[in-house]
Copies of this chain bind each other. A is one copy, B any other.
Amino acid sequence: MPETAPKMNLAALLKIPLFRSLTEPELERIFAELKITETRFRKGEILAMQDEPVTRLIILLTGSVKGEMTDPSGKVAKVEDIHAPSPLAILFLFGHDNRFPVQATALGNGTAVIIPRQSVLRMLSMNEILLKNYLDISADFAARLSRKLNLMSFRTIRQKVAAYLLELSEKQDSYTVTLDRSKSALAEYFGVARPSLEREITRMHEDGLIFSQQKRITIRGKQALMRLTN
């Protein structure tokens, strides 16, 4: 059981996205009225169980957790790491019968703020800036989900690579992009075998679509890549 800290560091809270643009007195007023606790957790501690109903918002202030999806036979299936400052499962706090999709285990010591669902509701009602922050954060998570779903709905690896590179190229505003993950991690993100991804990148290089060396890839045939992502 996590221990409750006696006092909260409001100044630190103001720096996390959810409370951005609030004034310290305003935040103090909100916290005074609500059931909000700050807890410290240790490495290996379980912050949330898989399939447990989401009844509270957990916001990592420091530290990080790994999200593990375990199957009936007990093997770990899919993992995702979450680093502070970030909320856990914010998209699943409301709605009907929403549960944690993964088990959240602390990767190291850290701290988190825990706010019961009802208090979140009250809190958002009290301050419009806070409400907008919350909606923005939720929307950004949803957009990430949607982007990934879009990616996964491409059938061939070549299409996924094309879509990923075009997106990276826009974000980094250059035809030469630096991969933001290792190729192994990218293969896992795509849900394909690593050698299969390597082979496809090699072929795209041979076909003149891209120029690939290590983590840097240059787009040569932008039009052709775009035609792939139909």
Contact = CB atoms under 8 A, between A and B. Distances in A.
A73 B230 CA distance: 8
Dominant SS at the A interface? Answer: helix
B95 A140 contact: yes
Nearest to A77: B230
Interface string A54-65: 000000000000
B142 A95 contact: yes
Contacts of A155: 191-192
Contacts of A98: 139, 143
A121 interface: yes
A71 to B, nearest CB: 4
A60 B137 CA distance: 25
A153 interface: yes
A230 B68 CA distance: 12
A95 B73 CA distance: 39
Interface stretch (A1-9, A29-37, A104-112, A144-152): A144-152
